[in-house]
Amino acid sequence: MLKTHGCGELRAEHAGQTVTLAGWVHRRRDHGGLVFIDLRDSTGLVQVVFHPDRAPAAFATASEVRSEFVLQIVGEVQPRRDGTENTDLPTGAIEVQAARTSVLNASDTPPFPVNQDTNVDELTRLRYRYLDLRRERMAGNIRLRHRVVKFMRDFMDAEGFIEVETPVLNLATPEGARDYLVPSRVHPGSFYALPQSPQQWKQLLMVGGIDRYFQIARCYRDEDLRGDRQPEFTQLDVEMAFVEESDILDLTERLYIALAAAVGPEFNLPSPFPRLTYGEAMERFGSDKPDLRYGLEIRNLSEFAAQGEFRVFTQAVEAGGRVRGFSVPGGADLGRRALDALTEVAKAAGASGLVWVQFAGEGPLDGIAADDIKSPAARFFTPEAWASIGQACGTQRGDLLLIAAGLDEVTSKVLDALRRQVAEDRALADPATLAFAFITEFPMFEYDAENERWSAVHHLFTSPFMDDLPLLARDPGSVRSHAYDLICNGQEIASGSIRIHSRDVQLQVLATLGLSLDEAREKFGHMLEAFRFGAPPHGGIAPGVDRTVALFAGERDIREVIAFPKTKSASDPMTGAPAPVAERQLRDVHIRLDEEALEVLTAAIHAADPPSGG
C-alpha cells in the first residue's frame, strides 16, 4: 500500500502513530527554516511539517516541489502547539512531522489554480476537466452525486423495486427530440437509435410481469442545449404496474423527502408537496414549472378593461385575449431605469410593451388620489378604477403593479419572465428552501403549426383521461392526459405519466397524431402486439439525476455535477469529440459523405450558431 490513511482522516486520536500518506501538494509554505505542505487527497487536507535537522532529505525534497506534485510521505502524527490549531479544517488539531518523502510524480504548472476557487474560463475548465475535478467544488459535487445515486438505489430496493438494464441500441421512433443514430455494419442502410429514455422497454417489462422496475438509466437526445440539458444525461427510471397516478406521486414525494434528509438536511423542504393542475399553474403563475418560494401571483384583470379608455386593454379582450398582472410588494421604490429594464424583459418574452403602475404612500388603496398614481397609462383610468385594479391583485400603497394584455400564451410567458426577474432583482427566493410541487393534468396534444399536425405534449404512450376519449377525433386540443411533473424552485425535476395499456386506445392516439395503421404497425408493432397479451395498467416517472444533484449542490448548471460534460455546442474540448473518422470506418458502416454538401452545411450552421466553449 502506498498509503495507510487518507489525508483528511487523521484526528487527535492518531497522535503518536506513524502514518504513510500519498496525495497532491495543495499548498507549500516556507516559514523560518521550516517547510509546511498541505497534502490533499480525496478525503481532505492535512498539514505536513518538514524539519531540516530531523529529516534533511525529506526537507530538501519538500523545498523543491510545487503545487500538484504527487508525494508519498512517511511521518508521525503530532498535536499542534496551543494557539496554532486550524478550526476550519477537520484535521486542524494535528500535523504530520515528515520523516521520509518521495516524489511519485512531478507536475507542470496547471493552467489554472487548483487550490483556489477562482473564476476560470469554462472552455479551459472543460479542456482540463481532470484538473477541475481536483478542485474542492467539483470534488464535492461528484461525491454528492454518488451519495444521491446510492440513496436512490437503496430507497427503490427497500420499496420492493428491482433494477433491470435495458438495451442501448434501439429502434428509431418518432418520440419528440431527435435521435442519435448508430449505423449498422451487418445491416447495410439500417440504423439503431440511442435511447431518449427506456420508455418502451419499461412498459414491456410491465407486460412481462416485472411490476416494480427501476434503473439508473443513461439517455441521449440530440437537442439544443442549455444549462439544464446535455446530449447525454442520467435519470432514475421508475415504472410500476397496477397503480394509479396518486400512487406514483406519493412514492416520488417520499423519495425526495427522505433524500433531502439524507443529503441536504440544511434545506427547508415544505411538505406535503402541493399538487396543481397544469391549468391552475398557468393561470396563477404563467408557467408549468413555477417557483413557489415567493408569491407574485397573477390575476385576471380583464373585467376592468371596460372601466377605462385604454385601447391596449380593450383591443386585447375583443381579440379573445385577456388583461393579466401581478403586484410587486414595495415596488414603488423602483426608478425609471429599473422599470425600463422590466419592459425590455417583457418585450423579449413576446410582449409589445408593459403597463406598470406605482402607488405612492402606505396602507390600503382606499381614497387614493391621482397624484398618488404614477404610470404611463395613468390618464386612461380614474384613480378609483386604478384602485379597483390594484385591489384585485392585493396591491397596497407603496407597491408596483405589472400588467400585460394579449392572448394567454403571450401573457403567461411574459408574466412568468417578469415574476422570475422581479424575484431575482429583489432576492425574494430563499436559497435554503426547496419548494417542491406536482403539476398534473397536462394537455394531451399541442398543435404543430409548422407541420400542420397534432403532436404529443408528453409522449405518445401517455394515457388520456378516459372521459376525454370522445374528444380525440373532434377536439384533440381539449384532451387531458395523465401526465405529471415534479417541479422545484422553478425547474422540472421529474416527469412521468400513467401509460396506455389498451391496444385500441393506443391506436386511437397514434391516429390522432397522424400515423396510419400501417405506419403504427411499422414503428410500434411490438408494443401493439404486446398489448394483446394482458398488459396491466401501469405508469411511471423519471427523476433527473443531474438536475436533482444540481439542486442539492446549489448549482444552476448541470454540467457542474457531471464528471465529463459536453459544451453547449455538444462538443468535448478535452477529447475533441465529435470528430471526423477514417474513410475505412465509414465504409464499414456503408456511409459515404457528400463533401461539397457537408462544407455548405457546416458553414451555414456556424454562421447561425458560431461554435464556442460555452
Q: What is the pLDDT of residues 488-525, one digit of tens each?
A: 999 999 999 999 999 999 999 999 999 889 988 988 99
Same domain, 144 and 268: yes
Confidence band (pLDDT; 50, 70, 90) for 5?
A: very high
pLDDT of 172 reads 87
- Whether the per-residue pLDDT at 105 is higher than 50: the answer is yes
Q: Pick the last residue of a domain from 385, 407, 425.
A: 425
Output 256 or 594, whichever has higher pLDDT: 256
DSSP letter string, 171-225: -----SSBPPEEE-SSSTT-EEE--S-SHHHHHHHHHTT--EEEEEEEEE-B---
What are 315-342's pLDDT values in tens digits? 999 999 999 999 999 999 999 999 999 9
- Assign residue 299 the CATH number of its domain: 3.30.1360.30
Q: Pick the last residue of a domain from 50, 84, 105.
A: 105
Same domain, 187 and 150: yes
Same domain, 146 and 253: yes
pLDDT of 454 reads 92
Asked, for residue 131, whether it belongs to a domain, the answer is: no
Q: Domain total for the chain?
A: 3
User: Which phi and psi angles does 215 have, rounded to 5°?
Assistant: -160, 140
- Whether the per-residue pLDDT at 259 is higher than 90: the answer is yes
CB 234 within 8 A of CB 545: yes
Asked, for residue 450, whether it belongs to a domain, the answer is: yes
Same domain, 493 and 527: yes
Strand partners, 36: 29, 49
- Assign residue 39 the CATH number of its domain: 2.40.50.140
User: Which phi and psi angles does 389 have, rounded to 5°?
Assistant: -60, -45
Same domain, 421 and 439: no
Q: Amino acid identity of 350? A: G
Q: Pick the last residue of a domain from 386, 407, 425.
A: 425
Global pTM?
0.93
Asked, for residue 115, whether it belongs to a domain, the answer is: no
User: Which phi and psi angles does 467 have, rounded to 5°?
Assistant: -65, -20
Same domain, 371 and 483: no
Q: Cα separations (Å) of 584 from 39, 542, 577, 597, 599? A: 49, 40, 19, 20, 20
pLDDT of 504 reads 95
pLDDT of 601 reads 83
CA distance 399 to 325: 13
Same domain, 420 and 439: no
pLDDT of 174 reads 66
Same domain, 88 and 144: no
What are 220-253's pLDDT values in tens digits? 999 876 667 899 999 999 999 999 999 999 999 9
Same domain, 168 and 221: yes
Same domain, 146 and 258: yes
Q: In the predicted model, what is the mean pLDDT of the chain? A: 95
Same domain, 256 and 229: yes
User: Cell numbers of 239, please?
Assistant: 415504472
CA distance 121 to 138: 15
Strands 70-79 and 400-406: unpaired
Asked, for residue 283, whether it belongs to a domain, the answer is: no
Q: Cα separations (Å) of 151 from 229, 235, 506, 548? A: 23, 14, 36, 12
Asked, for residue 17, whether it belongs to a domain, the answer is: yes
392: exposed, middle or buried (C-beta count within 10 Å: 0-12, 13-18, 19+)? middle
98: exposed, middle or buried (C-beta count within 10 Å: 0-12, 13-18, 19+)? buried
CA distance 237 to 496: 10
Confidence band (pLDDT; 50, 70, 90) for 255?
A: very high
Asked, for residue 341, whether it belongs to a domain, the answer is: yes
- Whether the per-residue pLDDT at 613 is higher than 70: the answer is no
Output 164 or 178, whichever has higher pLDDT: 164
Percent over 90 (pLDDT), the chain: 90
Residue from 153, 173, 158, 162 nearest 202 by CA: 162
What are 565-603's pLDDT values in tens digits? 999 889 999 999 999 999 999 999 999 998 888 888 878
Same domain, 418 and 468: no
Q: 3-state SS of the chain: helix, strand, coil percent to 5?
A: 35, 25, 40
pLDDT of 554 reads 95
- Whether the per-residue pLDDT at 610 is higher than 80: the answer is no
pLDDT of 611 reads 55
- Assign residue 257 the CATH number of its domain: 3.30.930.10
Q: Cα separations (Å) of 322 from 51, 281, 314, 316, 377? A: 78, 17, 9, 6, 17
What are 450-496's pLDDT values in tens digits? 888 899 999 999 999 999 999 999 999 999 999 999 999 999 999 99
What are 379-431's pLDDT values in tens digits? 999 999 999 999 999 999 999 999 999 999 999 999 999 999 999 999 999 99
DSSP state of 382: -
Domain range for 517: 139-276+435-561
Confidence band (pLDDT; 50, 70, 90) for 31?
A: confident
- Whether the per-residue pLDDT at 176 is higher than 80: the answer is no
- Whether the per-residue pLDDT at 604 is higher than 90: the answer is no
Asked, for residue 581, whether it belongs to a domain, the answer is: no
Asked, for residue 454, whether it belongs to a domain, the answer is: yes
- Whether the per-residue pLDDT at 614 is higher than 80: the answer is no
